[in-house]
Amino acid sequence: MNILVTGCAGFIGSSLTQRLLNEDYRVIGIDNFDPFYPKALKEKNLKALLYHPCFTFYEADITEPDCFSVIKDNINCVVHLAAKAGVRPSIDFPSDYTKNNIFGTQNLLNWMVLKGIHKYIFASSSSVYGNSLTVPFKETQDVNETISPYAFTKKSGEILNYTYHHLYNIDIVNLRLFTVYGPKQRPDLAIRKFTDLIYSDKPVTLYGDGTSSRDYTFIDDIVEGIISSVRLVSKSNDFFEIINLGSNHPITLIEMVNVISDAVGKKPEIIFNKMQPGDVSRTYADITKAGRLLSYSPRTPFKEGITKFVEWYFAQN
């Protein structure tokens, strides 16, 4: 099976690509090396993949109309991970997020229609739930109160996908990913950022009183869920589903810092500051549907995942 992975040089994309190659899939990867974080980090993610005989890479921007014309392979399934990332920056640059996450997705879908590709996995986000008081978050609940442009673009992507499913019979799984962490994590994300600060003996600033929580999900569990989704759409017809991929076990901000400091072996100075615009108070995934449709069952407890991440981090420094 030939699988197109957009955003293949990123944290999740490169981890997924490696696993797909290990399982004998052929992977065609696209990435535009968005300057949201240093290109060198993404090139490092790709380094081991580029020598694999079943991997082909194209540097391309999915917002450009002809970007997919370079692909000559017959694609059986698309995993769409490419996106402008980050909740807080989306407040400052909303147009960039609309262009990349909505128009880029539409460009991809138009190309899929042109090429007759009918199997598709879309990476959505837990941010679409906003500050919902209903927990754990279920796929069936209302998500009309997004509180950041990033979240709005992800919800828009889900709606856009349904339109193409209805019009062109594309089988689709929208995966709402919950706070993915692990080796190769983006430098702007909290776990990586706090590890940097603690390791360097610098103060850690927490926004809020430390009781906000996230449903942190280890990268290996997320990759497993994505691959199960590929298998599901590959054998399905007239299929459209929204599925949460999380750990079903929220961790508070202060607990997260304590677990990292134990793994690093240093205790940081903690500075508390007010919550920032766009931040949600908690995320909490109901993963019943993922278990039923994907046989999804996250295997990595938070402390174990942080230990693996810190071991990787030490190896880089």
Query: Is there a domain that residue 191 lies in?
Result: no
Which tokens in the block code for residue 186? 């983006």
Query: Is there a domain that residue 92 lies in?
Result: yes
- What per-residue confidence (pLDDT) applies to 81? 98
β-pair type (240-245, 171-177): parallel
Query: Is there a domain that residue 309 lies in?
Result: no
Which tokens in the block code for residue 129? 């739930």
User: What distances in angstroms separate CA 263 from CA 93, 110, 128, 266, 310, one per listed residue?
Assistant: 35, 46, 32, 8, 7
Residue 124 has pLDDT above 90, yes or no: yes
| pTM tops 0.75 | yes
Catalytic member of 150, 164, 181, 296: 150
178-232, pLDDT tens digit by residue? 999 999 999 999 999 999 999 999 999 999 899 999 999 999 999 999 999 999 9
Residue 317 has pLDDT above 90, yes or no: no
- What per-residue confidence (pLDDT) applies to 276? 81
**pLDDT (mean) for 74-90:** 95
243-268, pLDDT tens digit by residue? 999 999 999 999 999 999 999 999 99
- What per-residue confidence (pLDDT) applies to 138? 98
Query: Is there a domain that residue 256 lies in?
Result: no
Query: Is there a domain that residue 227 lies in?
Result: yes
Query: Is there a domain that residue 242 lies in?
Result: yes
Query: Is there a domain that residue 203 lies in?
Result: no
Query: Is there a domain that residue 170 lies in?
Result: yes
150 in catalytic set: yes
284-299, pLDDT tens digit by residue? 999 999 999 999 999 9
> What domain range includes position 65?
2-180+218-246+285-298
Q: Domain count for the chain, please give it.
A: 1
CATH number at 173 reads 3.40.50.720
